[in-house]
Structure 1
Amino acid sequence: MAPPAPQSGILLVDKPQGITSHDVVARARRALGTRKVGHAGTLDPMATGLLVLGVGASTRLLTYVVGLGKEYRATVRLGASTVSDDADGEVVAWAPSRTVSDAAIDAAFAGQVGDVQQVPSAVSAIKVDGRRAYARVRAGEDVELAPRSVTIESITRTAEPRRLVVDGHDVIDVDIVVRCSSGTYIRAIARDAGTSLGVGGHLTALRRTAIGPFAVTEAVDGASLPDERPELLGAAATAERLFPVVRLDAVGAVALSQGKRIPVEHSDTAGPVAAIAEDGRLIGLVRVDRGIARTLVNFPTDGAEG
């Protein structure tokens, strides 16, 4: 009997707190029995929420997921600054926050909405002269990163600010929802809000709730891996969420899988179009120019995509 075709598809995982994204990838590999698992962006160990993993041939789709917009739920603590801009780092400064008004807090977040130049947190994976920034910080070096262009669509406060006393210091905890472009650092939003208010700030909780069309409510619990074999979202179903679709008859599907250019009934597009066969298989991603489809990325046609 022939061995079963390798699985292919997208796995949505709700990452638990306290483990790395690479730990989740390792668990998925064991659960699925394959080494070919990649990710479309990591989360810090402190954070929870949505990870998008590609399995088998569907790792080819991850390129198109990485740059999608994201949604996060976060808690920002004003009145304390940490070395990492989150709760995993040592507190380096406290500042009285009792007089900070709710209106001032809202203004501090509103000032970060739009197309902005954001300085990433120094404790990040960005490389500086070949070494990760976080490694340089942990070695005692002062690290200054260049600002990056990001788009923050909205920062919405979801509850009244909570005024607390922590370790004898007045602080304010603020729950927010952030919708933003890829590359945005939520820790930096917390830090910059605190800086603008003159009291410092850092992140105490972070949960990623969506990446593009994928929501954490669809995800499997990462704590259940690798004990349970998770169900994948197939390559074709994933592509239908990400791209416009052109349907192929049997002849067209075979021709495109052989690398030929074929006529299709679809308007011209600059970006990818998902070419899907009558039997539901994703044949490839194509570009359509003057009614002719040309392959950008091909996919297996032996049923291996799941």
Structure 2
Amino acid sequence: MTRWAVTGAGGQLGLDLQVALAVSGVDEKSVTALERSDLDVTDRDAVREAVRGHDVVVNCAAYTKVDAAETHEAEAFAVNAVGAANIAAACRETGTRLVHVSTDYVFSGDAQEPYAEDAPLDPKSAYGRTKAAGEWAVEAHCPQSWIVRTAWLYGGGGPNFVKTMARLAAERDTLSVVDDQRGQPTWTMDVAEAILRLVGERAPYGVWHATSQGETTWCGFARAVFEGLGHDPERVQGITSDQYPVPAPRPAYSVLGHDAWRMARIAPLPNWRESLAKALPDVVALQPPAPPQA
């Protein structure tokens, strides 16, 4: 019986991972769900104690406030880099396998084709730098590890772009959304199930990209959400990144390649449109009627 520990268990990926484990038949007694209040990943001794007795640790714990990290980089580094190093070292000491969740922000975002798993890291934001440091720490401390990069996540368990679009669809006649950043909208349940496939099929250790097939812009994503909820997608208007300034630079191109899945003959994640249609009923609560059109 495989014993699992999930750090960051209160986040949207951590919550869906627990659901995926239960659906796959894993006894809940074999799963230790560790939320932020249960485990401070920056406390090395506490991490050692938490990891002991488990066969697999999935590290979903992360500082994900991208804009806030620009002025609180040390705080982000403590969780995303030091915390990752603590977990990786503890896993190495106990022979525990580690799945470490990372991000597209480790890349510069100026590519013209999907980033390969072995593409050089070149983060442009504080958040990206701390996540890149976390990847390096995991690679250095725990050879028995899968680094799973994902991006543009949405799920039922927390605030995200899909929920925001659903709310704004009911509040505004029109909406302006950035249309010059490309990426892969990814359902957290798809990522959770992909993680189970990596572990269950004993995939080669290393870097994996757990993002949906296909690509779009934030504006295209928003229009798909509107359409899926029965709203007119033309209510969403595209703008440039310059028209929506934010503290942290966003990657203009966040599309990740999926060669590792094909080489290992393991099923990758589905197309983003297919998953969005399947996820919407669970991710978005019943919305109030949209305001009448002028």
**Shared fold by TM > 0.5?**
no
Structure that is richer in helix per residue: 2
Query: What TM-score do you get using the length of structure 2 for normalisation?
Result: 0.22
Point out the structure with max Rg over C-alpha: 1
Structure of greater relative contact order (alpha carbons < 8 Å, 6+ residues apart): 1
Structure that is richer in strand per residue: 1
